[in-house]
Amino acid sequence: SFNVQVGGGTALYDAIVMACHDRMALSDPRAPTRRIVVLLSDGEDNASRNRLAMAEDIVASSGVVIFSIGTEISDRSRGKRVLDAISKTPGGAAFTDLSSSEVSKAFAQIRELMDSMYQVSFPPPSSSKGRVHALEIKAAKGAQFELLTREKVSFKAMASN
């Protein structure tokens, strides 16, 4: 158990930019690494230097997956729209309009989603540097499971060093 003091300013967008860009930046972007942020917030920001659009861009370009949990947020609030926007990257999800008793269920769902994530990587042909390509992933013939993708699957070929 821990104590949380409510009040003061919230620099949510700055925190997201710092987490994704500064704290979770990879030294080798080709290394298969799963980077996840679980954000517990009301989605409100009143103290950031960065704007929501910048935070969204940094999340999208960083490859960080964001799961947002918002408690007691109305379905039409700005906070809900912010959490939905921040969590829209591939693999992410927003759990909003929850009562305090539903928060533990959201964490359980996040754990299930995390446990089912896989990262696929391969070296693309050198002639495809900088181009975005569609990628089709299929389960092996006779597989005893169903393959589901939550998002459109594509990749951008990076320049090799």
Q: How far is it, in rounded angstroms, from Cα 3 to Cα 52?
A: 28
In the chain, what percentage of residues exceed pLDDT 70? 73
What strands, in cross-sheet order, belong to the sheet with 65-71?
36-40, 65-71, 93-98
- Contact of 29 with 160, CB cutoff 8 Å: no
Which pLDDT band holds residue 60 (cuts at 50, 70, 90)? confident
pLDDT at 161 over 50: no
Across the range 130-154, mean pLDDT stands at 69
Comparing 5-9, 32-36, 53-57, 110-114, the range with the smallest average pLDDT is 5-9
3-state secondary structure of 12: helix
